[in-house]
Amino acid sequence: MKILMFGRGVIATVYGWALQQAGHDVEFYVRPGRAATYGDAVDLDLIDTRRRVWGQRVVEKWPVRYREALEPDHDFDLIVLSVPHHRLAEATAFLSPRVGQATVLVFGNIWTEPLAAIGALPVDQIAWGFPQAGGGFGADGVLRGALLPSVVFGTLGQPPTDRERAVRQAFREAGLRLKEQPDFRGWLWIHFVSDAGLFSQALRLGSLSKLAGATGDLREGLLAGRELLPLLKARGLDLRRHRGGPLLFRAPTWLTAPALALLTAHVAPVSVNFAAHSDPDAEEPREVCRDALAEARRLGISVPRLEAAEPHFAREGTGRV
């Protein structure tokens, strides 16, 4: 399969590497001028858990190919679109007249209605998924992170199409196990508020990396996520269809917070992921918290912990999201 990774972010790079390992033809679309800045290879330092429970460390210089233009008559079979949720509208506007015959895998957080989030992209050419990898580029340009053994795919209530099955097969060929979510819209929203809860406390500390091993702060993050669950109900989501998703936030924090602290501090695939998120200026955590708080205010849902964290993610000069 000929695959275009949209951008050279962490998720695009990690999965582009895995897909190319499986024999797929992978390129990256980057903004004009970026290819020269990036150079012709990516330095990787990854924990790959696809075949070993505790992971295998991969340190290599991976040669990559970039393109800075995309014409409508391209011959890509798949475009993997993994961008921060607040950049999705811009990305779909760019891709819509250039999608050609490719399937577009929307591969990341969504907080609006999914069909609205894809803009003018043709619905019959969309596949829905969510990565199970993470990390960050360090100041030295090295991508440090972890690739977990599974990846999430879903639909909006209907069986997967032939296009969607072909995308799933490509990820299977890359050695990844598939987790299916038949109500992907609901799963995405639960994941979003989960992120908002933990991000709110990470931003208070300075970055997600500082949350690793911090039992008390993780407890506050879990409680912030719990306070956001009524927001999902107010949006019309039936949480009974997603009993597993909110479980971490509903369980007693005397049990979950120490377990999460242990996991984030000492289990390599998770701790490496947290440690790599050390950028105090990262915008996506702030945007997630801003959008969750704005929706809570719109619907009149009380979220005191997210409110208390607002000074750490409010836009300068406004004090408001």
Domain boundary among 153, 182, 211: 182
Note whether 142 and 254 are same-domain residues: no
b/e burial code for range 289-315 (CB count within 10 A of at least 16 → b): bbbbbebbeeeebebebbeebbebbbe
Question: Phi then psi for 319, rounded to 5 degrees?
Answer: 70, 5
List Cα–Cα distances, 35 to 41, 75, 107, 177, in angstroms. Answer: 10, 21, 23, 32
Q: Is residue 321 part of a domain?
A: no
Q: Considering the domain boundaries, does residue 36 fall inside one?
A: yes
**Domain assignment of residue 64, yes or no:** yes
pLDDT at 315 (0 to 100): 74
pLDDT tens, 139-154? 999 999 999 999 999 9
Domain that holds residue 257: 186-312
Percent of the chain with pLDDT over 90: 91
- Is residue 221 in a domain? yes
Q: Are residues 178 and 232 in the same domain?
A: no
* Residue 318 belongs to a domain: no
Residue 272 within a domain: yes
**Selection from 281, 291, 222 nearest residue 250 by Cα:** 222
Residues 175 and 196 in one domain: no
Which CATH number fits the domain that encloses residue 149? Answer: 3.40.50.720
Contacts with 200 (C-beta within 8 Å, 6 or more apart), sequence order: 221, 224, 289, 305, 306, 309, 312, 313
pLDDT tens per residue across span 197-243:
999 999 999 999 999 999 999 999 999 999 999 999 999 999 988 87
Is position 297 within any domain? yes
Report the 3 state secondary structure along 118-185: CCCCCHHHEEEEECCEEEEECCCCCEEEEECCEEEEECECCCCCHHHHHHHHHHHHCCCEEEEECEHH
pLDDT tens for 152-181 read 999 998 999 999 999 999 999 999 999 999
Question: Is residue 320 a part of any domain in this protein?
Answer: no
- Structural domain count of the chain: 2
Residues 148 and 237 in one domain: no
pLDDT tens figures, 91-143: 999 999 999 999 999 999 999 999 999 999 999 999 999 999 999 999 999 99
Of 165, 182, 199, the last residue of a domain is: 182
- Shared domain for 122 and 156, answered yes or no, is yes
Domain stops at, among 133, 166, 182? 182
The verdict on 167 and 242 lying in the same domain is no
**204 shares a domain with 73:** no
> What pLDDT, on the 0 to 100 scale, is given for residue 39?
93
Same domain for 44 and 131?
yes
Closest CA to 167 of 123, 107, 118: 107
